[in-house]
Amino acid sequence: MDHAHGSPLDPPNPADRPGRLAVGLVGVGRAGSVLAAALARAGHRTVALSAVSSASRRRAAERLPGAPIVPPDAVVAAADLALLAVPDDALEPLVTGLAEVGAFRPGQLVVHISGAHGLDVLQPATRAGALPLALHPIMTFTGRDEDESRLAGVHWGVTTVPELRPVGEALVVEMGGEPLWVENSQRPLYHAALVVAANHLVTLINDAVDLLRAAGVERPGAALAPLAGAALDNALRSGDAALTGPVSRGDAGTVANHLDALRGRQPSAVAGYLAMARRTADRAIAAGRLDPASAENLLDVLGDHSAAT
């Protein structure tokens, strides 16, 4: 039997699927390199890259070997799908500059992966006839090898014009993700939610680690891990019913002691504690978990310490 073209029992080659695209990547950062590699696994061809820093060139060699490194306008000119994976503030000038040199063409897919931006930032490409897509993976990337495995099952914020919605959702599914439709007008609110959930959470945990370390606790991260993991799981399962602790009980004396200790040992943490205690009280009151009399005493303590700050 001639095996030159593979046995009927061999798994299908993703590159043999219909509609495979020539992908050009502008910005070989932590996220862009992972997503371009995911598209390559789905059978799309990475035909060109734009990478400036030594770290970007290293990622290109590791994750997208063989793709030539060329200027951004040449990347876009070579691509059926131009993947723009640059920092939020760099996206608008990049798109504007590429449009000014005529890099975009009618029918070309132009995808950015910024959570903060929707379709407005792609208007120069759209005016040139390109097809705009904002596809944002709801995941943080660290630059380590496990980034690629983390894409499996991740939700993506998909924003585009209605007729391109099936295209955007299909690309997300090909990369192993779950599409989540986000209206263009709701993009800033969507992104604010993700910043609270990820970036602010990192700040809260690191503040807690610093406070435990100041209290003389060795390996504070190991001590916090079970508690923080359980709290996150409970919050996602039960909402405000997961609230516990002195604020939700209206224990004003304990909160006052906390603030006194912070002011004496870690004054930089006072403002954050006050803000989160007030927000926790608001949610506890609205959920009926904090009665008005207890709330009044607690809010008095928070107000006194806020004035002192």
Map out the domains of the chain as residue ranges.
14-182, 191-308
C-beta separation of 51 from 28 below 8 A: yes
**pLDDT value of residue 305:** 78
Distances (CA, A) of 92 to 56, 86, 96, 119, 258: 21, 10, 6, 11, 45
Q: For residue 199, which amino acid is it?
A: N
**pLDDT value of residue 2:** 45
Distances (CA, A) of 266 to 211, 219, 263: 7, 19, 6
Helix orientation angle between 270-286 and 201-214, rounded to the nearest 10 degrees: 120
Cα of 137 vs its chain's centroid, Å? 6
**pLDDT value of residue 63:** 86
Q: Can you say whether the dihedral through the CA atoms of 194, 195, 197, 199 is positive or negative?
A: positive
**Can you name the CATH fold of 14-182?**
Rossmann fold (3.40.50)
List, for the chain, all residue ranges whose pLDDT scores fall below the cut of 50: 1-8
Contacts 24+ apart (CB under 8 A), 115-120: 115/157, 115/187, 115/190, 115/191, 115/194, 116/88, 116/187, 116/188, 116/191, 117/88, 117/91, 117/92, 117/187, 118/159, 118/182, 118/184, 118/185, 118/187, 119/159, 119/160, 119/161, 119/184, 120/184
Q: Choose among 118, 76, 123, 80: nearest CA to 98.
A: 76
**pLDDT value of residue 10:** 52
Phi-psi label, residue 129: left if phi above 0, alpha if psi -120 to 50, beta otherwise: left
**pLDDT value of residue 309:** 65
Beta strands in the chain (DSSP E): 22-26, 45-50, 81-84, 109-112, 131-137, 155-160, 178-181
**pLDDT value of residue 124:** 98
**pLDDT value of residue 246:** 96
Return the structure tokens found at 135: 């596809």
